[in-house]
Amino acid sequence: MTFAPQDVPKRFWVLSVVCSVIPDADVIGFSFGIPYQHLFGHRGFFHSPFFGLLLSIFFVCVFFRDLEMFSKKWFFYLIFFFLLSASHGILDAFTNGGLGIALLSPFDKTRYFFPWRPIVVSPIGVIPFFSKWGLAVIKSELLWVWLPSFLMVIASAVIRVMAVRH
């Protein structure tokens, strides 16, 4: 991982994946009759940075309780998990579909998009994802999410190697 210390426990990696995808668990709300535009609807509260903060506090307090609270490592995990979770909603605000993202939830229920929206919105559901639309989503995310992420990993590795040499 680009910014992770070298001695992180395995649960760090599992929690990292959970943080990055958990906002989309809100689609379960459709099964319970929660409308899309509801506070707890898809791309609502669970896509907000505020939820990301609550989730990261919970994860650090529960899964890293062996750390001294407010220590450097404690804050690293808190900020790292927050950025992973919050980035989900922010990236969704760059997509070209849906009703927008409740980035300021629960303080403001307005849903937002960024003016520039190059990422193809993903269909909701497994079957539509395995269609022409799903392929367009994969291509779009490879270009706009995964390629920049990969380049950041390479750049940070180069920077780490250069820092060690000096």
Confidence of residue 51 (pLDDT cuts 50, 70, 90): very high
Q: What is the Cα 35 distance to its own chain's centre?
A: 22
98 Ramachandran zone, left/alpha/beta (phi>0; psi -120 to 50): left
Could you report the per-residue pLDDT of 36-50, keeping only the tens digit for each?
999 999 999 999 999
d(CA 166, CA 154): 19
The answer to whether 34 touches 41, Cβ cutoff 8 Å, is: yes
Q: Tokens in use for 160?
A: 């780490």
Could you report the per-residue pLDDT of 57-105, keeping only the tens digit for each?
999 999 999 999 999 999 999 999 999 999 999 999 999 999 999 999 9
Beta strands in 62-160 (DSSP E): none
Could you report the per-residue pLDDT of 100-159, keeping only the tens digit for each?
999 999 999 999 999 999 999 999 888 888 899 999 999 999 999 999 999 999 998 899
Q: Which residue has the higher pLDDT, 17 or 157?
A: 17
pLDDT for the residue numbered 2: 56
Burial class of 14 by CB neighbour count within 10 A (0 to 12, 13 to 18, 19+): exposed
pLDDT for the residue numbered 129: 84
d(CA 104, CA 45): 8
